[in-house]
């Protein structure tokens, strides 16, 4: 029997329930239907390379662009397949398309089945005692842990692939003029093998000290698995199992491993949040925030996007993002807080910029995180807690290694003044070759004034809430 497997954010061969089911029936037609609106600009670079890796691994991949239902109906007829399988996706637009596709193909007599493969637990599986949705992370994660170990991942199966060529270039996913992605290649290896190499390196080495080291952008304690996870080159169930294996061999890793799995838990939390509140990318979860008096300042937004705010940690983060398609989590929190609170620019502008520049751009994680920082989201950081970008830099990049890497024009400054160059004596700036306003910007806002303005704006939210 011939089955079609529709790949989306599950670009892997192992632990792929749809693929395993199809392989057990007979010949497999692997298909990827490109839906441009599902990807930001940087993510398209990743997609190109990830599809290339998958096609090599499978021995071919039929690639098309268009509306999945139309494309799949055509392929079912052209290739004589009698079954279509896929692993579920959980974004509102994807759910709507898949629901329609399931009904239409089923009505046409095609066997259709979807599978869980991209989360530890289905978004409707973990419920509060009264059967509702969790809005606070800690009890959610406790409930996940109580639910028992997630299903064991599936091993790779042998495949009989037919009909598949890999015309990935035709999708035109790579930037050319200019090629702004030159910094990505040296840092990342998209694809299933790259994902496993990253996990193995992390578990054998970088995980030691993750609990506290994960806050240090100048260190290498985080896994950098996020784009691999977003594209499904590795599944959270596989990660879960590998973590358990490591801890069984090296019990001293348990504390760091628990913290790491809790971060995977945040991914679960964000996905169930988007599933239950599909307008999360458009609406404040806490509608009192609709009253916030946002500023309209395109100059400030551009300075933030380009890493020219005059606050070194913020600028370092925004430049890391532009050059590598990634930003460390601690710095994501600082730059997001700066945009929302110091510049009072709506979180949607930040979310959109991240969407286009992050390789791991993920509707659930990105939206939930931006609302978390804004204070309008679930289990959110309180609005009145405003990160001071200078003290954050002193605390989490104490020697200035991260700032020096991404803001090389400040590299010669002594560490004492590196985090706040505007406080440096004129002679020190001169000796380091720094001219504020010329080689590096003056701060675009004063921290104390910006903080006061942000808090005054928050009063409108409090009134709306009252």
Positions in the binding site for ligand FAD (CB under 6 A): 214, 222-226, 229-230, 263-264, 266-267, 270, 329, 332-333, 336, 354, 358, 360-362, 365-366, 369-370, 373
406 is catalytic: no
- Residue 267 is encoded by which pair of tokens? 């991914």
Alpha carbon distance 234, 191 (integer Å)? 9
Among candidate residues 240, 353, 370, 406, the one labeled active-site is 370
Catalytic position from the list 329, 388, 409, 422 = 329
Alpha-carbon distance 356 to 40, whole Å? 4
Nearest-10 crossing angle of helices 192-201, 41-58: 100
**In 3D, which of 46, 120, 14 has the Cα closest to residue 360?**
46
CB of 231 to ligand FAD, least distance (A): 10
- The answer to whether the bond into 178 is cis (omega within 30° of 0) is yes
Question: Is 347 among the catalytic positions?
Answer: yes
Q: How many whole angstroms separate alpha carbon 109 and alpha carbon 1?
A: 15
Written as six digits, the tokens of 381 are 């950081």
- Report the residue number, 161 or 373, with the smaller CB distance to ligand FAD: 373
Q: What is the Cα–Cα distance from 80 to 110, expressed in whole angstroms?
A: 11
- Rounded to whole angstroms, the Cα distance separating 435 from 429 reads 7
**Which single residue is written with the structure tokens 């983060």?**
317
Helix (H, G, I), strand (E, B) or coil at 123: coil
Closest approach of Cβ 274 to ligand FAD, in Å? 11
Q: Which of 240, 266, 355, 372 is catalytic?
A: 266
Between 3 and 246, CB nearer to ligand FAD: 246
Smallest distance, Å, CB 376 to ligand FAD?
13
- Catalytic residue chosen out of the listed positions 35, 73, 263, 409: 263
**Distance of closest approach, residue 311 Cβ to ligand FAD, in angstroms:** 16
Between 356 and 409, name the residue whose CB sits nearer to ligand FAD: 356
Shortest Å, Cβ 373 to ligand FAD: 5
266 is catalytic: yes
Catalytic residue among 46, 322, 347, 372: 347
> How many CA atoms, within 13 angstroms, populate the side-chain half-sphere of residue 69?
15
Residue 263 annotated as catalytic: yes
422 in catalytic set: no
Residue carrying structure tokens 């892997």: 12
Q: Smaller CB distance to ligand FAD: residue 246 or 270?
A: 270
Query: Is there a catalytic annotation at residue 67?
Result: no
DSSP secondary structure string for all residues of 187-224:
T---SHHHHHHHHHHIIIIITTTHHHHTT-TTS--S--
Question: Closer CB to ligand FAD, residue 7 or residue 353?
Answer: 353
- Report the alpha-carbon distance of residue 68 to residue 453 in Å, rounded: 48
Give which of 305, 311, 288 is closest to 345, Cα–Cα: 305
Closest CB 198 distance from ligand FAD, rounded Å: 9
Distances (CA, A) of 126 to 143, 244, 379: 7, 21, 17
User: Which residue's CB is nearer to ligand FAD, number 64 or number 241?
Assistant: 241
- Backbone phi and psi for residue 418, each to the nearest 5 degrees, phi listed first: -60, -35
Indicate the residue among 86 and 372 with the shorter CB distance to ligand FAD: 372
Residues 82 and 198 sit within 8 Å (Cβ to Cβ): no
Point out the residues that are catalytic. Answer: 263, 266, 294, 329, 347, 370
């Amino acid at each position: 029997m011939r089955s079609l497997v529709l790949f989306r954010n599950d670009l892997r061969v192992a632990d792929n329930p749809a693929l395993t089911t199809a392989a057990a029936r007979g010949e497999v037609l692997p298909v990827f239907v490109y839906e441009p609106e599902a990807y930001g600009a940087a993510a398209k670079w990743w997609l190109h390379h990830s599809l290339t890796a998958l096609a090599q691994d499978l021995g071919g991949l039929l690639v098309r662009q268009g509306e999945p239902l139309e494309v799949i109906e055509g392929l079912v007829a052209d290739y004589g397949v009698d079954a279509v399988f896929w692993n579920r996706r959980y974004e509102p637009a994807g759910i709507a398309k898949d629901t329609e596709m399931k009904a239409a193909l089923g009505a046409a007599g095609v066997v259709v089945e979807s599978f869980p493969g991209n989360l530890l637990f289905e978004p409707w599986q973990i419920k509060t005692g009264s059967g509702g949705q969790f809005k606070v992370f800690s009890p959610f994660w406790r409930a996940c842990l109580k639910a028992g170990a997630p299903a064991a991942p599936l091993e790779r199966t042998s495949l009989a692939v037919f009909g598949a060529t890999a015309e990935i270039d035709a999708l035109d996913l790579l930037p050319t003029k200019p090629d702004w992605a030159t910094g990505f290649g040296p840092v990342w290896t998209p694809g299933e093998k790259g994902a496993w190499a990253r996990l193995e390196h992390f578990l054998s080495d970088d995980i030691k000290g993750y609990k506290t080291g994960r806050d240090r952008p100048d260190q290498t304690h985080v896994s950098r698995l996020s784009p691999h996870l977003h594209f499904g080159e590795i599944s959270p169930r596989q990660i879960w199992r590998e973590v358990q294996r490591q801890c069984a061999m090296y019990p001293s890793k348990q504390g760091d491993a628990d913290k790491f799995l809790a971060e995977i838990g945040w991914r679960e939390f964000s996905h169930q949040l988007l599933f239950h509140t599909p307008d999360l990318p458009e609406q404040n979860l806490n509608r009192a925030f609709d009253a916030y008096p946002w500023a309209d300042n395109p100059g400030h937004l551009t300075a933030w996007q380009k890493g020219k705010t005059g606050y070194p940690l913020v600028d370092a983060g925004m430049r890391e993002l532009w050059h590598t398609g990634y930003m460390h989590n601690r710095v994501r929190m600082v730059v997001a807080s700066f945009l929302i609170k110091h510049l009072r620019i709506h979180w949607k502008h930040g979310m959109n910029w991240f969407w286009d520049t992050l390789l791991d751009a993920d509707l659930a994680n990105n939206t939930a995180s931006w609302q978390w920082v804004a204070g309008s989201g679930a289990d959110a950081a309180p609005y009145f807690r405003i990160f001071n970008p200078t003290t954050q830099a002193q605390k989490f990049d104490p020697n200035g290694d991260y700032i020096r890497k991404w803001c090389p024009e400040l590299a010669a400054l002594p560490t004492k003044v590196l985090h706040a160059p505007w406080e440096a004596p004129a002679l020190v700036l001169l000796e380091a070759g720094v001219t504020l306003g010329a080689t590096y910007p003056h701060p675009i806002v004063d921290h104390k004034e910006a903080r006061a303005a942000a808090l005054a704006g928050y009063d409108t939210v409090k009134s709306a809430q009252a």
